Structure 1
């Protein structure tokens, strides 16, 4: 994936679960041209932490470099944290 895409960000997402289990890391790309739920996952989890309510359970994380799609089905009551490492583009 080239950095020519407008607003391109490359993420590496790891989900920590109750009991110590870990899902990931999952590589995911987001841009205005690439459909991926990586940002929505983090926004929804943050909203859950504030309100205790969850309305969405399935997220698709697209890795454009390897041409993979990861599907995560999560109940946030079982999640203890989400780590999102974002590759920053140069100047």
Structure 2
């Protein structure tokens, strides 16, 4: 697995770019989150990755977006097991 932008398969990044002509200003947060999930081995690792992701997006000035994306990854983000497919923010 590798970082693919925001959203599963980078979908949010593509939509954002189509609407604005630029990548999401928090795309780096999404890529960091992808990589953290790749390394996650426990639920605690996954929770840390999700919390760090939310803080990263909020720090870039997108408070509501950060909370919404955090909720999405907490509910749909996959399991902390290298044998399970991962879903990214």
User: When the two structures are superposed, what TM-score results if normalisation uses the length of structure 2?
Assistant: 0.36
Q: If each structure's strand is expressed as a fraction of its own residues, which one has the higher value?
A: 1
Considering only CA atoms, is the larger Rg found in Structure 1 or Structure 2?
1
User: When the two structures are superposed, what TM-score results if normalisation uses the length of structure 1?
Assistant: 0.36
Q: If each structure's helix is expressed as a fraction of its own residues, which one has the higher value?
A: 2
